[in-house]
């Protein structure tokens, strides 16, 4: 049985770190990142590259977006599973979300924005793009630290170039009761790295390896970084991909963003040979992320608690 616990996510300070020039405490922060991802699969990141004004503006933009009529929000469509509008599901009635592909590229954001506001909405486009573009820096710092920690930094360029970014924006309505209601079911992410940012309404819970739930207390100054199944497979199981869920209570709406680094279709996710040995036998056969998603979103895949093992486990 899982239970709530007073444990907290590890907190790691990324202040003054960047990719161009390693700061003196790079090695210290790198070791903290690696240990957190081995044990928890996630951590809370203090990252000051995004100005507080932009962090506040992102929530104003989300409110503006989700206040649009349902038929307008449903214009957010995608051929990729779970990249378009999601909502109106009886099992998770508090939840709705939309996806913005390549949100770090201004023209892509502006094109999506014009679907909702035919006359344009420059303030919305600039906020979404600027926020996403700054957050990709944190994603790349973390992935660089991971590959260095694993001793496979020679693959960094390939690793970064084989992925795209999706910004998923989410709203959870307050259930208007003190009783706890399901906001989003327990799941692991399927991508490489997820970086979550949310307003100061609690709801996110992360499961530890021994089945205890950690309730995250959000702050406007921090982000939650989480490993997805793709990086779990690529690291040959070394990095933990944690189950997490959203549980809601009270009257306030929870707004959140998730920047997802996602493997490009056609790219085979394959553990480097340096990470496969007698102590660490190969866990997953090479696979295409898009093909895996087709299985995952099938009727059988949705009933499968460990779909990746079924799809490509050795």
Tens digit of each residue's pLDDT (9 = 90 or more) over 97-156: 999 999 999 999 999 999 999 999 999 999 999 999 999 999 999 999 999 999 999 999
d(CA 149, CA 51): 29
Q: Name the 3-class secondary structure at 146.
A: helix
Q: Report CA-CA distances (Å) from 165 to 58, 68, 100.
A: 17, 24, 9
| DSSP one-letter string for 68-130 | S-HHHHTT---SSTTSS-B---TTSTTEEEEEEETTTSHHHHHHHHHHH-TT--HHHHHHHHH
Structure-token match 């990719």, residue found: 19
pTM for the full model? 0.95
Structure-token match 């100061």, residue found: 200
pLDDT given at position 4: 54
- Ordered domains of the chain (ranges, CATH): 3-274 (2.60.120.330)
Q: For 61-88, what is each residue's pLDDT tens digit?
A: 999 999 999 999 999 998 877 788 999 8
Average pLDDT score, the chain? 93
Tell me the H-state helices in the chain: 26-39, 52-66, 70-73, 106-116, 122-150, 156-161, 229-234, 289-296, 299-303, 307-312
State both tokens at 143.
């992935």
Dihedral sign, Cα of residue 288, residue 97, residue 255, residue 110: positive
pLDDT given at position 1: 44
pLDDT given at position 242: 97
Q: For 147-206, what is each residue's pLDDT tens digit?
A: 999 999 999 999 999 999 999 999 999 999 999 999 999 999 999 999 999 999 999 999
């Amino acid at each position: 049985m899982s239970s709530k616990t007073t444990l907290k996510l590890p907190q790691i300070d990324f202040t003054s770190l960047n990719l161009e020039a390693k700061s003196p405490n790079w090695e210290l922060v790198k070791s903290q990142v690696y240990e957190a991802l081995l044990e928890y699969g996630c951590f809370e990141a203090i990252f000051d590259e995004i100005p507080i004004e932009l962090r506040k503006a992102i929530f104003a933009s989300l409110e503006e977006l989700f206040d649009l009529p349902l038929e307008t929000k449903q214009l957010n469509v995608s051929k990729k599973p779970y990249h378009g509008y999601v909502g109106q599901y009886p099992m998770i009635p508090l939840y709705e979300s939309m996806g913005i592909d390549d949100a770090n590229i201004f023209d892509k954001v502006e094109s999506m924005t014009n679907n909702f506001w035919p006359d344009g909405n420059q303030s919305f486009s600039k906020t979404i793009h600027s926020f996403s573009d700054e957050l990709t820096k944190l994603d790349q710092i973390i992935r660089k630290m991971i590959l260095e920690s694993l001793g496979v930094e020679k693959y960094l360029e390939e690793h970064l170039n084989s992925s795209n970014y999706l910004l998923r924006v989410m709203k959870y309505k307050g259930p208007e009761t003190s009783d706890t209601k399901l906001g989003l079911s327990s799941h692991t992410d399927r991508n490489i790295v997820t970086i979550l940012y949310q307003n100061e309404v609690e709801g996110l819970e992360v499961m530890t390896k021994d089945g205890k739930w950690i309730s995250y207390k959000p702050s406007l100054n921090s982000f939650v970084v989480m490993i997805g199944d793709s990086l779990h497979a690529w690291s040959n199981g070394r990095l933990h991909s944690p189950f997490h869920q959203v549980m809601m209570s009270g009257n306030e709406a929870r707004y959140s963003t998730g920047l997802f680094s996602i493997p490009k279709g056609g790219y085979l996710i394959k553990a480097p040979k340096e990470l496969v040995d007698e102590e660490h036998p190969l866990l997953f056969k090479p696979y295409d992320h898009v093909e895996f998603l087709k299985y995952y979103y099938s009727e059988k895949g949705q009933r499968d608690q460990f779909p990746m093992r079924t799809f490509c486990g050795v």
